[in-house]
Amino acid sequence: MSEVVKLERHDEVGIVTVNSPPVNALSAAVRGGILECIKAAIADPAIKGIVLTCAGRTFIAGADITEFGKPPKPPGLNEVLAEMENSPKPIVAAIHGTALGGGLEVALACHFRVAVKEAKLGLPEVKLGLLPGAGGTQRLPRAVGPELAVKMIVGGDPIGAAEALKNGLIEEIVEGPASGGEAFVRKLLAEKRPLRRLRDDDSKIAAAKADRSIFTNAVAAMTKKSRGLEAPFAAADAVGYAIDLPFDEGLKKEREGFLKLVASDQSKAQRYAFFAEREASKIAGVPEGTKSRPVNRVAILGAGTMGGGIAMSFANAGIPVTLIETGEEQLKRGMGIMQKNWEATAARGGIPADAPAKRMALINGVVGIENVGDADLVIEAVFETMAVKQEVFGKLDQYVKQGAVLASNTSYLNIDEIAKATKRPQDVLGMHFFSPANVMKLCEIVRADKTAPDALVTAATIARKIAKVPAVVGVCDGFVGNRMLAQRGKQSEKLLFEGALPQQVDAVVTKFGMPMGPFAMGDLAGLDIGWRSRKDRGIKSEIADALCEAGRFGQKTGKGYYKYEAGSRAPLPDPEVEKLIDETLLRLGRKKRIVSDDEILERMMYPMINEGAKILEEGIAARPSDIDVVWLYGYGWPIYRGGPMFWADSVGLKHIADRLAFYAKETNDPNLEPAPLLKKLAAEGKTFASLAAASKAA
Ligand code: 3HC
Ligand code: NAI
């Protein structure tokens, strides 16, 4: 008998229970166990109907992703599903938690499905660069019609039980999965309801067979944001086979598409990202079993750009916030922006109409730091000056209850110095959110010298609770993300002095898959900030300075490296900028040359990777995958390239080290000399990934 799947009999009902923690993924053992138990239930004359259910926190959450790329082990999932669908006795999937990917495909091969009301059902394979490979693209359209099927399969987001019920994906919402499933089977048997095999039921795809535009319109809507990705398009094609081909042929074509994607570089990168994200929440050097401190109430200092966005993230997750400002006016402004923001989302249908009011009610806006009250976590998002931060943390010491975690959202400042302003440095750390903070998923958790392990765990846990992806980093200028970005910034600026134009540099970067190039990003953030800081420090950057002197501060003035039409955020190349660059170069006696796109790409990416190597060497990041997580979720690095360190491994570290050495010489820039760690790995023919494997083994 199987270790992970059991068959019991309750009178005439056979109960097949999968029990393979943590998420009942379809490993070879689970597939084999299901097959064995279903066969036994069919063979047992006392059993008239069957329930398939799961123990633990969830129904089957999909194929076992760790098996991909390894030699396949029998039985194959399609073989198991065919046995189930062919069963002469009714099989009911009883779902709780998440029925995802192969898990939903198992449920679709059952004759009926019921679920608890909190359950979620989906085919998220595209998010791993895949398409459903066990009949999902053929059975789901037959269950819910092609429009919703395309939305779920090409978009990858799950739906809730209520929507599943409305669209015929489940028959009933039940209280408990196993008991509800059993009761449902008894009802079927009493009513002698005929089996429903989705394979044989074309009723819901008939309309799209007659009018294919129903399908193509749905695909067009769902693939709008899929630039650069292969899987959404292949997944859409597979749904098309359900409409155009007989079931068995469609199934065969789906399988071919799946096998092609499993072997693709994109899917490898996306699967890597899935595990990198989960790995990042395991904090290096924190004793196992370290528990989070309870966090029931949060106080945020500063209702500006960041404080407001952070407050929204907490309220979105239902966590009450005290939002603190220095004056009524600033407070009113901050609260107003949040309200407008939510109302705009509600107007677009992104959140329910009553959500803005409900969420605003969770935010208590007040003036004066003495109101931090009983907060369990304080996040400071005031002006970026050490003196101001230290003053604020000094006061926090006085007003905040003992044991609360004290976090700073600083982008660059030294958390050790900030911690010195309090008598409880063990409670101080960084929680560096990214703008817009209610949207961007990354939270760099900055570990200072004295930060206590349970304070770190608290920050990482609460970050996940508000749907952020935490990555723990050490103290240094700019932490991981901005420190690497600064290297790209230096090169993009230098490229203008050599003859490249902003639009050429940005085009190379966006073609690579980043959402924006460095110059468009500068225009968005505002060029005056850097200009003022350069002036303070007595630094010159002739082109950027000239732009600011001409009043070109970026989007906010309608002109920067680009020009912007009124009300538009679309950057338009501006001949005036070209002229200004030419004049500056002439004045400085610089010679222009033609800079190739290949060179631009190398000079944008390789210096960042070089900095990543330094970051690893200094222990600022514990694992290369943590750096990748920072870039995936903080800067929109294209998921199908896995992250800068993963991508570097695929390019080859020797090549990167050689090119850096070349550019160091060619452009007379010692800063570009390959870092010792990069040089060493390159010489040994190794990858960054080999470091992670070595640290795991140790
Ligand atoms: N295979 C292998 N391991 C998996 C897994 C899977 N499908 N899903 C989750 N895990 C592991 C995670 O790596 C993690 O391991 P760790 O504790 O060692 O880090 C553990 O299970 C718990 O996962 P989470 O931390 O993500 O737990 P949550 O409770 O936050 O989320 C979940 C649970 C919603 C199920 C989430 O894990 C998830 O989205 N999983 C992936 C689902 C998915 O993509 N399924 C489709 C797979 S492809 C497929 O099915 C192909 C088919 O069509 C043939
Ligand atoms: P902001 O200027 O928009 O907001 C700062 C707010 O803090 C202002 O409303 C101000 O009135 C308030 N404030 C000042 N002193 C205060 C005090 N003692 N108590 C309560 N409130 C006080 O600035 P922004 O952009 O929100 O930045 C805040 C912090 O977040 C900075 O440390 C910044 O470096 C960091 N950060 C900024 C990002 C960005 O893109 N803007 C990204 C990530 C971090």
- Predicted ipTM of the assembly: 0.96
Domain 480-499+593-619+622-697 shares a fold with domain 516-581: yes
Look at residue 694 in the predicted model and tell me its pLDDT.
75
pLDDT tens column, 110-162: 999 999 999 999 999 999 999 999 999 999 999 999 999 999 999 999 999 99
Q: Does the pLDDT value for residue 527 go beyond 90?
A: yes
Q: Does the pLDDT value for residue 607 go beyond 80?
A: yes
Measured distance CA(114)–CA(103) in Å, rounded: 14
3-state secondary structure 421-452: CCCCHHHEEEEEECCCCCCCCEEEEEECCCCC
Look at residue 41 in the predicted model and tell me its pLDDT.
98
Catalytic (active site) residue 105? yes
pLDDT tens column, 484-515: 999 999 999 999 999 999 999 999 999 999 99
pLDDT tens column, 614-643: 999 999 999 999 999 999 999 999 999 999
As for ligand 2, residues whose beta carbon falls within 6 Å of it are 301-307, 324-326, 330, 369, 381-384, 388, 392, 409-411, 433-435
Q: What CA dihedral angle connects 385, 388, 394 and 396, to 10 degrees?
A: -100
C-alpha atoms less than 13 angstroms from C-alpha of 294 in its C-beta half-sphere: 3
Mean pLDDT along residues 190-199: 97
Q: What is the pTM of this model?
A: 0.95
Topology at the third CATH level for domain 5-265? 2-enoyl-CoA Hydratase; Chain A, domain 1 (3.90.226)
Helical H segments across 91-157, by residue range = 102-109, 136-144, 146-155
Look at residue 533 in the predicted model and tell me its pLDDT.
86
Look at residue 697 in the predicted model and tell me its pLDDT.
60
pLDDT tens column, 27-68: 999 999 999 999 999 999 999 999 999 999 999 999 999 999
Q: Does the pLDDT value for residue 11 go beyond 70?
A: yes
Q: Rounded to the nearest 5 degrees, what angle is found at the Cα of 280, between the Cα atoms of 279 and 283? A: 100
Look at residue 34 in the predicted model and tell me its pLDDT.
98
Catalytic residue among 3, 83, 105, 611, which?
A: 105
Taking alpha carbons only, the member of 98, 80, 74 closest to residue 37 is 80
Which residue ranges make up each domain of the chain?
5-265, 298-479, 480-499+593-619+622-697, 516-581
Atom from ligand 2 closest to the CA of residue 324: 20
Look at residue 402 in the predicted model and tell me its pLDDT.
95
- The residue whose CA has the least distance to atom 4 of ligand 2 is 304
Task: Give me the count of residues in the chain.
Answer: 698
Phi, psi values for residue 212, rounded to 5°: -65, -15
CB 474 near ligand 1, within 6 Å: no
- Residue 305 Cα to ligand 1 midpoint, Å, equals 34
CATH-assigned architecture of domain 516-581: Orthogonal Bundle (1.10)
Please give the order of strands across the beta sheet that includes 120-122: 98-100, 120-122, 159-160
Mean pLDDT along residues 453-476: 98
Average confidence score pLDDT of the chain:
96
Catalytic (active site) residue 417? no
In the block, residue with structure tokens 């990555």 = 471
Look at residue 698 in the predicted model and tell me its pLDDT.
56
CATH-assigned architecture of domain 298-479: 3-Layer(aba) Sandwich (3.40)
pLDDT tens column, 256-268: 999 999 999 999 9
Helix then strand then coil, % of the chain, to nearest 5: 55, 10, 35
Task: Return the best residue to mutate from 300, 301, 306, 324 for the ligand 2 pocket (most ligand atoms within 8 A of CB).
Answer: 306
CATH-assigned architecture of domain 480-499+593-619+622-697: Orthogonal Bundle (1.10)
Measured distance CA(563)–CA(572) in Å, rounded: 5
Look at residue 1 in the predicted model and tell me its pLDDT.
76
